[in-house]
Amino acid sequence: MSFAPSSPDDRFVLVTEVGTRDGFQSETRLVPTEVKADLINRLIEAGVRSIEATSFVSPRAVPQMADAAEVMALIERKSGVRLTTLVPNARGAERAAAAKVDMMACFVSASETHCQANLNKPIDAALADFAEFAPIAHKYGIGLRGAVATAFGCPFEGDVKMGNVLKIVEAYMRHGARHITLGDTTGMATPPVVTRTVEAIRARFPEAVIALHFHNTRGIGLANVMNGLALGVREYESSFAGLGGCPFAPGATGNICTEDLVYLLHVCGCETGIDLDALAVVARDVQQLMERDLPGQYIKAGPRLKLTSIEGVRRAVG
């Protein structure tokens, strides 16, 4: 499959960095507040325009995100940079509004079993929570994003019902969330499943702005991005150095890697506004911080045209 943007307007792709939320949340160790804020500030400096910074969930349920307000307060805000946080309910929405977030994101799983396991409530109850907090976002003039988790498959139920996906998107749209993220929470997306899902949503809700959140659990994360680009999707979510995990596939990688994604987009002629070298420095620091090898490939190999001297290279035969 090949892809090339057809016009300058078509060239810009919005990359949302989710490392400090999705990535750090799946780590057992707690990352200091100042370190999180420093990473976010350096991402902004590197040209990242959209960041899912943290989450206003219950600190008891998710201790990694207990410092959400403090992280937000330490970020050097810049116009044109969108800071999104997760919000599960009205209480979280008030905290997010006080922290002056640009966008609140709600998460509901398309799989009833996953929704119960993750949010401890059925889909309808999770949507009722959203209906309750959406007016709070509107009141403060804050953007709303509706995320559909396990949109491309569930480890408990297998393929999810398209009717569930559409029901969730319908509720989001009805309450003013036109930005829809389809989350490959457990890495089950494939190009055909993504095409089917994006087309079904567009057929019913042509005004929806779709973003794709892929995981690289089975090694086809960037192939899914290529397919998304061919479908005309211009927003992707990813994590620095590929940080993140998959709770239902131990040892598997999590989110697609931001530097690898940006590298792919740039070589395909897309624009992201991101300085890839500066981004790679941040990603290497994240790898150092985690004290282990992370899945990102670009930070290991470096730029494509970083030439190697022929002298001293061990000859490989064949």
The binding site for Zn ion (CB under 5 A) comprises 22, 255
Tokens of 160: 């999810």
Measured from the CB atom, the residue of 25 and 287 that comes closer to Zn ion is 25
**Considering the complex, what minimum distance in angstroms separates the CB of residue 215 from Zn ion?**
6
- Spatial separation of the C-alpha atoms in residues 34 and 6, rounded to whole Å: 42
**Considering the complex, what minimum distance in angstroms separates the CB of residue 140 from Zn ion?**
27
- Spatial separation of the C-alpha atoms in residues 203 and 205, rounded to whole Å: 6
Which member of 246, 257, 268, 270 is catalytic? 246
**Considering the complex, what minimum distance in angstroms separates the CB of residue 21 from Zn ion?**
9
115 given a catalytic annotation: no
Measured from the CB atom, the residue of 175 and 181 that comes closer to Zn ion is 181
**Considering the complex, what minimum distance in angstroms separates the CB of residue 228 from Zn ion?**
15
Nearest alpha carbon to residue 186 among 222, 157, 150, 237: 150
Is residue 144 within 8 A of residue 134, CB to CB? The reply is: yes
- Spatial separation of the C-alpha atoms in residues 223 and 251, rounded to whole Å: 21
Is residue 216 within 8 A of residue 253, CB to CB? The reply is: yes
Measured from the CB atom, the residue of 22 and 259 that comes closer to Zn ion is 22
Compute the chain's Rg from CA coordinates: 19
Residue in this structure with the two tokens 């057992």, named with its chain if needed: 28
- Spatial separation of the C-alpha atoms in residues 148 and 145, rounded to whole Å: 10
Measured from the CB atom, the residue of 253 and 272 that comes closer to Zn ion is 253
The set of catalytic residues is 246
